[in-house]
Amino acid sequence: MSQILVTRHDRVAHLSLNRPERLNVLDPTVYRELFDALEAAYADPEVGAIVLSGEGDHFCAGFDLGASDDMAVQDSVWAQWDGMERQRAAMASIGHSPKPIVAAVRGYCLGGGFELANYCDFIIAAEDAVFGEPEVRFSLVAHPRLLYFVPLRKAKEIQLLGENFSAAYAERIGLINEVVPNEDLDTQAFEFAQRLSRVPAETFRHTKTIMSRVLDIQGMSVAESMLTSDFVVSKLTETSDRVRFRQIRETEGLRAALAWSRTKDAPPAPEPEQRQDGMSVNA
């Protein structure tokens, strides 16, 4: 079964992550198929814009922790490095896309899924969308790209707490373009993409290149080039939390390990409706 579904709507190519039973989590196969589908869309002169979404109720819940042995410490450094470089190539293909890409986000958009959406040019989210970068809870480093899209203190809040937050909060800090009713997400995303498809292709490409150059001058490309080594080191470094996470996963299962990582050493969290800023570990 294909991990990426590809359809066409007039001048808009629709790429959809196709693992709804696993909340559309990412693994090396998904990255490879996504890269191939993107390259085909870029080469098609009849495609003027791209919509990226997820099948089912969620955009993407992150990287598939079952794709390796709990981010396996026993893997060789080069195996870890190679996997990260393949992932980075797929993400860079989105970031450097010659055609506009709109992420249509509903449900979970976490970890690697959050990074995937942030590489897109635009993000339109349903009201039920839940964003977050929980990497810190697994003793992993988060992606530095967020620093270029929201104020520094908000980036620290998101990446150092590892808590989930709502679509309304994401819109308020400028992370996404628009929040729409759940039932209107597809319509709004495709209408927006159709508008983008009518922008002269060379004008879009040249303008985006200039914008990317400004970000590179600010250091984004350097930070991203260093991410592979930073992430590999964090994956290969044993910590007491990681050892405990692996022990719980092996004896009680992944769900129990994830529950432990969310609750360890944490005071009782208020219910989402009691929070005024949109942040919530219970979202």
Mean pLDDT of 20-28: 93
Kindly tell me if the per-residue pLDDT of 200 is higher than 90: yes
Neighbours of 241 (CB within 10 A): 15
Kindly tell me if the per-residue pLDDT of 269 is higher than 50: no
**CB distance 124 to 102 below 8 Å:** yes
pLDDT over 70, % of the chain? 79
CA pair distance 217, 143, nearest whole angstrom: 18
CA pair distance 57, 105, nearest whole angstrom: 9
**CB distance 150 to 267 below 8 Å:** no
Quick one: pLDDT at residue 271?
A: 47
Mean pLDDT of 6-35: 95
For residue 103, list its beta bridge partners. Answer: 52, 123
Residue 94 token pair: 């989105």
User: Where do the domains of the chain lie, and which CATH numbers do they carry?
Assistant: 4-274 (3.90.226.10)
Kindly tell me if the per-residue pLDDT of 222 is higher than 80: no
Mean pLDDT of 247-274: 65
Quick one: pLDDT at residue 70?
A: 44
Q: Please, is 60 exposed, middle or buried when counting C-beta atoms within 10 Å of its C-beta (0-12, 13-18, 19+)? A: buried
CA pair distance 208, 211, nearest whole angstrom: 5
Quick one: pLDDT at residue 278?
A: 56
Q: Which residue has the higher pLDDT, 75 or 169?
A: 169
**CB distance 47 to 12 below 8 Å:** yes
Mean pLDDT of 10-27: 96
Q: Tell me which H or E stretch contains 171.
A: helix 167-172
- Residue-wise pLDDT tens digits, 46-95: 999 999 999 999 999 998 876 554 444 445 556 666 667 777 777 888 98
